[in-house]
A and B are shown apart, each in its own frame.
Chain A
Amino acid sequence: IAGITQAPTSQILAAGRRMTLRCTQDMRHNAMYWYRQDLGLGLRLIHYSNTAGTTGKGEVPDGYSVSRANTDDFPLTLASAVPSQTSVYFCASKPGPGTYGYTFGSGTRLTVV
């Protein structure tokens, strides 16, 4: 089934630890995105990639990094987790430039303690 796979589904992480959230899509979409969703704040963009080999910062990039070595994968790394990074993280993609709706993954629920 075409779509986006995120892993893990949920994680409890000790503060200060490093963590990589995985995102893989099989739709050959050029553009990929990482969002976090918090109650009362909605969806906020962390980082994006318009095409393989390029990345950019979104609204809330501090404490996060991404890479885009190929079309299919777009991992999000928390270098040293802090409690304020407790959130639900969604990976999304779309074919490329223009007006397309996103396809979202099922999310990773991360709790930093």
Chain B
Amino acid sequence: EDQVTQSPEALRLQEGESSSLNCSYTVSGLRGLFWYRQDPGKGPEFLFTLYSAGEEKEKERLKATLTKKESFLHITAPKPEDSATYLCAVQAKRDNYGQNFVFGPGTRLSVLP
């Protein structure tokens, strides 16, 4: 069974204090791993897709990396506007249409000024 776990459940950082969020996954053949950002009262917003171990993607203060068992979302010098819940999801190779995405529970990030 495909599974995704995320840690920590919640993280509080001071502005400028860099850290990483973890997404651990078990899937029978990875087609893609996705990171989303979700603000309170809003739908998730797509950030990155990673396809294979060793791949990295960057966007502003965020960098996502991928190994064969986990992905990290590194946040460099965060600002209060980076406060959100970050969701990780995996799509298996057999899931061509993306109808069996497995989402993790999310990490709730708070960045204090």
Taking Cβ atoms with an 8 Å cutoff, the residues of A that contact B are 4, 31, 33, 40-43, 45, 48, 50, 56, 58, 90, 92, 94, 96-107
Cβ of A65 to closest chain B Cβ, rounded Å? 17
CA–CA, A106 and B105, complex, Å = 18
Taking Cβ atoms with an 8 Å cutoff, the residues of B that contact A are 31-32, 34, 36, 41-47, 49, 51, 87, 89, 91, 96-101, 103-106
Contact B51 A101 (CB under 8 A): no
Residue in A4, A42, A100 whose beta carbon sits within 8 Å of that of B98 in the complex: A100
Contact B31 A48 (CB under 8 A): no
Q: A104-B45, A107-B43 are in contact. Are A40 and B105 (CB under 8 A)?
A: yes
Cβ of B85 to closest chain A Cβ, rounded Å? 10
Contact A45 B36 (CB under 8 A): no
- A contact residues around B51 at 8 Å (CB): 99
- A contact residues around B104 at 8 Å (CB): 42
Contact B96 A33 (CB under 8 A): no
Contact A99 B44 (CB under 8 A): no
Contact B42 A99 (CB under 8 A): no
- B contact residues around A31 at 8 Å (CB): 97-99
Q: A90-B43, A99-B32 are in contact. Are A45 and B101 (CB under 8 A)?
A: yes
